[in-house]
Amino acid sequence: MIIDAHTHLGLADAKVGELLASMQKAKIDKALVFCGEINNYSTEQLLQDIAPHKGQLYAIGSVSPLSLKRPPLQQVEDWLATKQIHGLKFYPGYEYFYPGDASLRPYLELLVKYNRPAIFHSGDTYSGVSKAKLKYAQAIHIDDLATELPELKIVIAHFGYPWVTEAAEVCYKNKNVYVDCSGFVYGTFTVDQQAHFRDIIKEFERISNARDRIIFGTDWPIGEQASYVQTIQAIFGEDFVKLYSGNAVELFGLE
Number of domains comprising the chain: 1
- Residue 254, pLDDT above cutoff 90: yes
The DSSP secondary structure of 53-106, one letter per residue, reads GTTTEEEEEE--TT-TTSPPHHHHHHHHHTTSEEEEEE-BTTBS--TT-GGGHH
Instruction: Write out pLDDT tens, residues 1-15.
Output: 999 999 999 988 999
pLDDT per residue over 177-234, tens digit each?
Answer: 999 999 999 999 999 999 999 999 999 999 999 999 999 999 999 999 999 999 999 9
Predicted pLDDT at 252: 97
pLDDT at residue 127 in the model: 65
Give phi and psi for 250, each to the nearest 5: -70, -45
Mean pLDDT of the chain: 95
Model confidence band, residue 46 (pLDDT cutoffs 50, 70, 90):
very high
- Segment 79-94 shows an average pLDDT of 97
3-state secondary structure of 194: helix
Q: How confident is the model at residue 134 (pLDDT cuts 50, 70, 90)?
A: very high
> How is residue 51 annotated by DSSP?
G
* pLDDT classification of 238: cutoffs 50, 70, 90: confident
- For residue 130, name the pLDDT band (cuts at 50, 70, 90): low
DSSP per-residue string spanning 197-237: HHHHHHHHHHHH--GGGEE----BTSB-HHHHHHHHHHHH-
Residues spanned by the domain of 45: 3-252
Mean pLDDT value of segment 46-58: 98
Nearest alpha carbon to residue 181 among 211, 141, 147, 143: 211
pTM for this entry? 0.97
- Report the alpha-carbon distance of residue 23 to residue 214 in Å, rounded: 20
**What are residue 223's DSSP bridge partners?**
187
pLDDT, tens digit, 9 for 90 and up, residues 147-168: 999 999 999 999 999 999 999 9
What is residue 241's predicted lDDT score, i.e. its pLDDT? 85
Is a pLDDT exceeding 90 seen at residue 53?
yes
User: What pLDDT is recorded for position 128?
Assistant: 65
What is the model's pLDDT at position 30? 97
Q: How far apart are CA 44 and CA 56, in angstroms?
A: 18
109: CATH: 3.20.20.140
Q: From CA 229, how far away is CA 26, in angstroms rounded?
A: 7
Q: According to the model, what pLDDT value does residue 61 have? A: 98
The reported pLDDT for the residue numbered 126 is 77
